[in-house]
Amino acid sequence: MTEMVYGTVPLRDGDPILPRWWRTIDKWSLSCVLVLFGIGLLLGLAASPPLAARNGLAPFHYVERQIFFGGLAFVAMAVTTMMSPRLVRRLAVVGFGLAFLALAALPIAGTDFGKGAVRWYSLGFASVQPSEFLKPGFVVTAAWMLAASQDPGGPPGKRISFGLTLAIVMLLAMQPDFGQACLILFGWGVMYFVAGAPVTLLVGLAGAVTLAGTLAYSNSEHFARRIDGFLSADVDPTTQLGYAANAIQEGGFFGVGIGEGQVKWSLPDAHTDFIIAVAAEEYGLLLVLVILALYATIVVRSLIRLMRERDPFIRLAGTGLACTFGVQAMINMGVAVRLLPAKGMTLPFVSYGGSSLIAGGIAVGMLLALTRVRPQGEIGDILITRQR
């Protein structure tokens, strides 16, 4: 009778925390994250020395910083994976509130570092991008609201979460950061769809996004310049997209050889937004396919585990985190091969960036915490029991 209600799971009363954590976590996804970070360090060894030379720094200055931030990210991820879903939710709500306030204050105290978009706080020794930390906190907070709205007499969580989404999108558009704004909208839309949203509403939302994009194109020179560059039939070989496209073509299937790539000497963002171009040139399509497979493994395995989940909050939050993680990787690589307009978005765990790494560690830590095996049984077991 106990197994019919709770299912058979590898948990035993009185187990120490670490053995229980190891038995219940998705080891394949955890391994894929570690491999992605290792690939990021490998590519950083090739991509960062030219930038360090231009800035008068030690050759591996950025690699050393990547290792430091990566260490912080994995500590944050390890701690987060050991949390219960309730503790994950509390952490996300607090983190979301702080990140939202930081995002709102960017026009007053933020900086653009000469890139034309006010997205960062300069701390002197480092910079912080609030939108990176906002994403995981928002996804889990919105999932909590959507799940609560399904309870009898529950709050109007769908309307509240939609209002928060619009507020965030407007703040991001003011920077401007339309890439992160689209990612926030996508994450909310996926969770809303999983929560049972009517298709007509999602179609209407897609129409509203199209209208907003048209208005942004008409009123934002930054946005219009990127769209025009994307739609142009000819790619200027001296632009970032031109350098990236040429590097990918030169790499072929096996690449030109370790350290032999030239794009890192031309691209100012070779170690961040266009790190996949460095991978394609020096290691070829083969490494790019490996990177794609690693991201796909994390997303697919997480979604398969979440399909068995009975708790609506865990199912929605996990789906939002997994899909946002995967789509961010798709956007970064899509920009490099000119399938998408330039977005200024990092490749999770591969690109250089302290905010991206630490926020990514927290996000994946939340995802791994939510997809751990718990004594609840599967949905199929419960349905079979009810039919009997």
Q: Measure CA 81 to chain center.
A: 17
Residue-level pLDDT at 12: 54
Angle between helices 130-148 and 178-194 (to 10 degrees): 20
User: How far does CA 169 lie from the centroid of its chain?
Assistant: 16
d(CA 73, CA 363): 10
* pLDDT band, residue 383 (cuts 50/70/90): very low
Average pLDDT over residues 197-207: 73
> What average pLDDT does range 337-343 have in this prediction?
76
Per the prediction, the chain carries an average pLDDT of: 84
Task: Kindly give, in sequence order, each residue whose CB lies less than 8 Å from that of residue 318, ignoring residues fewer than 6 positions away.
Answer: 302, 305, 306, 309, 367, 370, 371
Of the pLDDT bands very low, low, confident and very high (cuts 50, 70, 90), residue 386 is: very low
d(C-alpha 74, C-alpha 357), whole Å: 9
Task: Indicate the range of 143-157, 261-275, 315-329 predicted with least confidence.
Answer: 261-275
Does residue 203 surpass a pLDDT of 80? no
Answer for the pair 356, 132: CB distance below 8 angstroms, yes or no.
yes
- The proportion of the chain whose per-residue pLDDT surpasses 90, expressed as a percent, equals 45
Identify the CA nearest to 188 among candidates 45, 49, 316. Answer: 316
Give residue for tokens 């419960």: 382
Q: What average pLDDT score do residues 132-140 get?
A: 95
- Amino acid at position 348, single letter: P
pLDDT in tens, 288-299: 999 999 999 999
Per-residue pLDDT band for 302 (boundaries 50, 70, 90) equals very high
Residue 176: asked if its preceding bond is cis (omega within 30°), the reply is: yes
Contact 137, 95 (CB under 8 A): yes
230 vs 175, 211, 329, 335, CA distance in Å? 21, 19, 19, 9
Q: What are phi and psi of 128, to 5 degrees?
A: -125, 135
Give the model confidence (pLDDT) of 68-126 as tens digits. Answer: 999 999 999 999 999 999 999 999 999 999 999 999 999 898 888 777 778 888 887 78
Residues 291 and 36: beta-carbon distance below 8 Å: yes
Which pLDDT score, from 0 to 100, does residue 3 have? 37
Q: What number is the average pLDDT over the span 325-350?
A: 87
3-state secondary structure 271-284: CCCCHHHHHHHHHH
240's CB contacts (< 8 A; 6+ apart) are 267, 268, 269, 273, 274, 342
Q: Which of 37-46, 116-125, 147-156, 361-370 has the lowest mean pLDDT?
A: 116-125
- The values of phi and psi at residue 127, to 5°, are -130, 155
Q: What is the model's pTM? A: 0.87
The better pLDDT of the pair 206, 217 is held by 206
Give the other-Cβ count within 10 Å of 192's Cβ: 23
The more confidently predicted of residues 134 and 234 is 134
Which residues, other chains included, contact 93 with Cβ-Cβ below 8 Å and sequence gap of 6+? 137, 140, 141, 144
Q: Which residues pair with 128 in a beta bridge?
A: 121
Assess whether pLDDT exceeds 70 at residue 258. yes
